Amino acid sequence: MQVMLNTDHHTDGSHEMADHLTVVVKDAVAQFGERVTRVVAHIADENSVAKNAPGDIQCTLEARLVGLEPVVVKDRAGSAHQAIHGAAGKLKRAVSTALQKHEPRQVSKRLPADFDELA
């Protein structure tokens, strides 16, 4: 699985941030195996450096799933690390839901209790 990081001019896009993102995202979606082919992260400072307000860092994660539409989630937090963790948790739940919706349902065929007598 590929993990890619995109940032704006006001956000840390260092190698360490990319490594942190990769570890957090891979941990969050590891249970889905090869059904997730790529995750692209967009981290942006909503208010730039002019204003420091809580929740002004936004992390958007877009997961590409085999044979399905992409799954996109967003989280806002006071730091990029917090936003990544929040978005990764949301991504795990959203990917799980998307995959469950497209899995064939298991239909159990219940036979009547007196089936042997009918035959």
Identify which has the larger pLDDT, 115 or 89: 89
Residue 53: phi, psi to the nearest 5? -125, 150
| Fold entry, domain 1-79 | Double Stranded RNA Binding Domain (3.30.160)
pLDDT the model gives residue 103: 78
Domain borders along the chain are: 1-79
Tens-place pLDDT, residues 30-88 = 999 999 999 999 999 887 656 556 668 999 999 999 999 999 999 999 999 999 999 99
Q: What is the pLDDT of residue 102?
A: 82
The Cα 16–Cα 115 span in angstroms is: 65
pLDDT of residue 68: 93
pLDDT at 116 over 90: no
**Cβ-contact 21, 29 below 8 angstroms:** no
pTM: 0.81
